[in-house]
Amino acid sequence: MFNIQILCLGKLKENYWQEAELEYLKRLKPYAKIKLIELPEEPFRENDDTEIIKQKEAEKIKKNLPKDSLIIALHETGKEFSSKEMAEFLQANSARGETIVFIIGGSLGLHESILKLAHKQISLSRLTFPHQMVRPILLEQIYRSGTILNNKKYHY
């Protein structure tokens, strides 16, 4: 069973993202213990210094990181996995008893200090998605990993 924590900046605002997230959290119960932590995004305007905003968000993230965990930053330049490779990655790291922490940044992305702190950077795609969309996509891939590892007919 995977032990996963998802740290994310911002709330899911639209009902359809909330419903998708709830559906995958329900489906994941046999495969993973998931803890989801929503941190408030920093407000900003067009002329604000985005590095300062990202740094403030990074401090919130750092305060919520559990000790002795595998920290994975979701980032556009991170390593891409196939679904089978993701399943193998989660299995290998879960076998060591580590909590796997995925960090999802806000609309400005993650501060460089978080990227350096992370043990691994993963990209879900070379495409850019709204950060609210990333949550259901990540949960679906974790679910898919569980079904692959348990030989369930979901991944073809």
What would the pLDDT profile of 44-79 be if each residue is shown by its tens digit? 888 889 999 999 999 999 999 998 899 999 999 999
pTM: 0.94
Residue 155 lies in a domain: no
Report the C-alpha gap between 33 and 59 in whole angstroms: 25
Residue 154 lies in a domain: no
- Give the total number of structural domains in the chain: 1
pLDDT at 156 over 70: no
CATH at residue 128: 3.40.1280.10
Residue 54 lies in a domain: yes
Domain range for 88: 2-149
What is the C-alpha R_g of the chain?
15
Residue 156 lies in a domain: no
pLDDT recorded at residue 66? 93
Residue 118 lies in a domain: yes
Length of the chain: 156
pLDDT recorded at residue 46? 86
